[in-house]
């Protein structure tokens, strides 16, 4: 692999591994988010603390760290470096070295890197997520369906490399949601606004 791509992967991972959910909840006195609900460090679980502002801050932070990584590496090393940084950022969020490789499920950072690759595709993701969330109130299902559509959208808007990368990222996100998928099929998945552990 080209040295610039290795650097892009490392930088992307470093950006992605910043655990905003954990940092925000600890610094504001909300405790360790890993002891709440599902134990996940993402925005959905932060919402279970009842602190909507913290959840919004977590979502924004987890998104923008991915966006920043892609934009920085694309500026520094070109389009391919940006795509590799996107991979690193999502992997870093899901498997952060600082938390013994136990992070979030990747959806917010996925959206963040998608925003940097194609804002139109990110907007479509948001519309699909919102429609599914509004009609079903399942956060996990919303992310699964929106991410499943993303590689197809990118194939038309950007091209093959981005589509292939996001197909891999989508597979990773789906793998991280395997327990949610089982609960969705069983009808036991918790909905947005419910407090019990799930996503």
- Give the separation between CA 108 and CA 93, rounded to whole angstroms: 9
Going by the DSSP 8-state scheme, the letter that residue 49 receives in this structure is G
pLDDT value, residue 198:
38
Instruction: Look at residue 34 and tell me if it is in a domain.
Output: yes
Predicted pLDDT of residue 199: 36
Residue 196, pLDDT score: 47
Q: For residue 193, is it within any domain?
A: no
**Within a domain: 194:** no
Token code pair at residue 159: 């091209």
Write the DSSP assignment of 100-166 as a string of letters: TT----SHHHHHHHHHHH-HHHHHHHHHHHHHHHHHH--HHHHHHHHHHHHHHHHHHHT-HHHHHHH
Answer yes or no: is 47 within a domain. Answer: yes
Torsion angle, CA of 164/116/17/193, rounded to 10 degrees? -100
DSSP 96: -
Q: How many domains does the chain have?
A: 1
Report the pLDDT value the prediction gives residue 34, as an integer from 0 to 100. Answer: 83
Domain interval for residue 96: 3-186
Does 180 map to a domain? yes
Query: What is the pLDDT tens value at each position of the chain, 199 positions in all?
Result: 689 999 999 999 999 999 998 888 888 887 788 877 777 888 878 877 778 888 899 999 999 999 999 999 999 999 999 999 999 999 999 999 999 899 999 999 999 999 999 999 999 999 999 999 999 999 899 999 999 999 999 999 998 999 999 999 999 999 999 999 999 999 999 887 665 443 3
Is residue 151 a part of any domain in this protein?
Answer: yes
- Residue 86's nearest CA partner among 162, 142, 145 is 162
């Amino acid at each position: 692999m080209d040295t610039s791509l290795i650097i892009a992967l490392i930088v992307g991972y470093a950006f992605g591994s910043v655990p905003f959910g954990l940092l925000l909840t600890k610094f504001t006195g909300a405790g360790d988010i890993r002891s709440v609900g599902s134990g996940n460090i993402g925005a959905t679980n932060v919402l279970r603390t009842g602190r909507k502002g913290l959840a919004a801050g977590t979502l924004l932070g987890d998104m923008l760290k991915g966006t920043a990584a892609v934009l920085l590496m694309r500026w520094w090393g070109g389009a391919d470096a940006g795509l590799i940084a996107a991979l690193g950022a999502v992997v870093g969020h899901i498997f952060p070295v600082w938390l013994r490789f136990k992070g979030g499920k990747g959806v917010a950072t996925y959206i963040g890197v998608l925003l940097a690759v194609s804002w139109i595709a990110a907007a479509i993701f948001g519309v699909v997520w919102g429609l599914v969330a509004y009609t079903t109130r399942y956060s996990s299902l919303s992310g699964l369906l929106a991410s499943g559509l993303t590689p197809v959208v990118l194939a038309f808007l950007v091209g093959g490399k981005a589509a292939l990368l996001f197909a891999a990222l989508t597979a990773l996100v789906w793998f991280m949601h395997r327990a949610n998928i089982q609960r969705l099929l069983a009808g036991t998945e918790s909905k947005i606004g419910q407090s019990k552990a799930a996503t």
